[in-house]
């Protein structure tokens, strides 16, 4: 490594700086909004639980933020049998 | 005496020393700045808000003198003057310790408000040493602050957490809720000027640009800090000529509104002094 490589290596601080600037730009925007995912989770579960029984721990809600499109993924495991989908009918 | 109390009540300043991240130097900085301000003649009380994990007593060398604590005062078990510990070296410096064992829910908003209001009548500076994190202890420590010292290491996780804390200072403090501002000051600790110059560490300019907060001081990384805490003495008292101590003294003067040029003190002078001191001894 040595001389040649170290002459062209600019140190890792610029990387740290750039990562922080990107991250904080995002975090500052979302910081003062209410916990969107938490609110969505609560309201979606309230609606579903009116119709089917499920275990609260068997629920996964994920949000992926993309540049132009974000996706919200809701995965609820509903047991078959009594108290499950049967109640929909 | 009552007159003096009254006069001071209007000028008392409540500072919170906070960071979000743990281990960046909040307690060290609270002790060092408290001692520096007291050394200049101001009446200072430092309060440990880290209920259950108190350490300010240890860093100040007062761990064996703790009888009553902040929660005792809030719960009415002890009177405020009974819980205040006067420093053995500086008669202007007092400590209000945190409790070591009690439930941190005992720290109530009203209780803290009353203690701070009482201390405002007796002291020039009330310095609240915040616990790490953004939970109750940390939000209560900043609740009544007029000004905040955000302790930051030039390192990504510390800078990110400082940004978060700055957001809380602007929204969750009593001042923010009244539509007023909490003055924010950035204190960069554990700084290596040479590593920053080589691009191995975020520079002061990087940190300032990212956090957009005025700089209070730059504390260089130094063995003196550990040496001072080992013996239970603020670094500003233990070795006042050392680089970190000089940086803290400068920061204390800036807190008082003095215009002190921003430099990173280096160890060379103190090394000279140490050698010289050894010879003289």
B167 to A28: CB separation less than 8 angstroms, yes or no: yes
Q: How far are the Cα atoms of B11, B66, B71, B118, B145 from residue B6, in angstroms, in the given order?
A: 9, 29, 26, 11, 20
Instruction: For residue A1, give how far its alpha carbon lies from the nearest alpha carbon of chain B (Å).
Output: 17
Nearest to A24 among B163, B196, B206 (CB): B163
CB atoms within 10 A of CB A61: 15
At residue A72 the predicted structure's pLDDT band, cuts being 50, 70 and 90, is confident
Evaluate if residue A51 carries a pLDDT over 50: yes
B210 to A24: CB separation less than 8 angstroms, yes or no: yes
On chain B, the residues whose CB falls within 8 A of the CB of A6 are none
The question of ipTM being above 0.85 is answered as no
Instruction: For residue A38, give how far its alpha carbon lies from the nearest alpha carbon of chain B (Å).
Output: 18
Instruction: For residue A63, give how far its alpha carbon lies from the nearest alpha carbon of chain B (Å).
Output: 21
Token pair for residue B132? 């790490």
pLDDT at B272: 58
Evaluate if residue B279 carries a pLDDT over 50: no
Evaluate if residue A19 carries a pLDDT over 50: yes
A10 to B201: CB separation less than 8 angstroms, yes or no: no
Nearest to B199 among A14, A27, A32 (CB): A14
Closest CA to B191 of B204, B178, B173: B204
- Residue B183's SS3 state is strand
pLDDT in tens, B185-207: 999 999 999 999 999 999 999 99
Average pLDDT, chain A: 78
Contacts of B205 (CB under 8 A, 6+ apart): none
On chain A, the residues whose CB falls within 8 A of the CB of B200 are 11-13
At residue B2 the predicted structure's pLDDT band, cuts being 50, 70 and 90, is very low
On chain B, the residues whose CB falls within 8 A of the CB of A15 are none
Residue of A nearest to B162 (CA): A24
pLDDT at B5: 46
pLDDT in tens, B224-247: 999 999 999 999 999 999 999 999
B159 to A20: CB separation less than 8 angstroms, yes or no: yes
What is the DSSP secondary structure assignment for residue B96, as one 8-state letter?
E
pLDDT at A3: 59
Q: How far apart are CA B277 and CA B150, in angstroms?
A: 35
Element of type H or E holding B4: helix B2-9
Q: How far apart are CA A54 and CA A73, in angstroms?
A: 17
pLDDT in tens, B92-131: 999 999 998 767 678 899 999 999 999 999 999 999 999 9
On chain A, the residues whose CB falls within 8 A of the CB of B199 are 10-14
Contact A78, A52 (CB under 8 A): yes
Nearest to A17 among B167, B200, B206 (CB): B206
On chain A, the residues whose CB falls within 8 A of the CB of B155 are 16
pTM of structure: 0.80
CA dihedral angle for residue B88, residue B89, residue B92, residue B94, rounded to 10 degrees: -40
Evaluate if residue A65 carries a pLDDT over 60: yes
In terms of phi and psi (left: phi > 0; alpha: psi -120 to 50; beta: otherwise), the region of B133 is left
B199 to A28: CB separation less than 8 angstroms, yes or no: no
- Residue B63's SS3 state is helix
């Amino acid at each position: 490594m040595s001389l040649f490589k170290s002459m062209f290596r600019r140190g890792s601080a610029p990387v740290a700086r750039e990562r922080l600037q990107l991250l904080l730009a995002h975090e500052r925007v979302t910081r003062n909004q209410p916990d969107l995912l938490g609110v969505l989770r609560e309201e979606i579960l309230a609606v579903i639980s009116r119709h089917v029984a499920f275990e609260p721990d068997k629920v996964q809600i994920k949000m992926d933020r993309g540049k132009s499109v974000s996706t919200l993924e809701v995965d609820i495991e509903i047991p078959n049998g009594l108290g499950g989908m049967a109640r929909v009918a | 005496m009552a007159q003096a109390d009254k006069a001071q009540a209007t000028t008392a300043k409540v500072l919170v020393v906070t960071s979000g991240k743990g281990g960046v130097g909040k307690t060290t900085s609270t002790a060092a700045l408290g001692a520096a301000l007291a050394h200049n003649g101001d009446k200072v009380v430092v309060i440990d808000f880290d209920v259950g994990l108190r350490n300010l007593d240890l860093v100040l060398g007062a761990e064996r003198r703790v009888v009553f604590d902040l929660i005792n005062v809030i719960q009415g078990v002890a009177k405020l003057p009974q819980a205040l510990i006067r420093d053995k070296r500086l008669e202007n410096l007092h400590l209000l310790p945190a409790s070591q064992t009690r439930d941190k829910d005992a720290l109530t908003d009203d209780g803290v408000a009353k203690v701070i209001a009482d201390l405002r009548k007796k002291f020039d500076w009330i310095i609240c040493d915040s616990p790490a994190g953004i939970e109750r202890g940390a939000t209560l420590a900043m609740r009544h602050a007029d000004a905040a010292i955000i302790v930051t290491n030039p390192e990504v996780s510390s800078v990110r957490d400082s940004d978060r804390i700055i957001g809380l200072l602007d929204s969750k403090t009593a001042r923010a809720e009244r539509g007023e501002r909490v003055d924010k000051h950035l204190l960069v600790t554990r700084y290596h000027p040479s590593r920053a110059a080589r691009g191995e560490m975020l520079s002061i300019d990087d940190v300032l640009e990212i956090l957009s907060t005025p700089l209070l001081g730059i504390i260089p990384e130094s063995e003196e800090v550990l040496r001072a805490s080992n013996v239970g003495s603020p670094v500003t008292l233990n070795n006042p000529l050392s680089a970190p101590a000089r940086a803290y003294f400068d920061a204390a003067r800036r807190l008082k509104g003095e215009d002190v040029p921003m430099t990173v003190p280096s160890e060379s002078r103190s090394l000279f002094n140490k050698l010289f001191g050894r010879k003289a001894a």
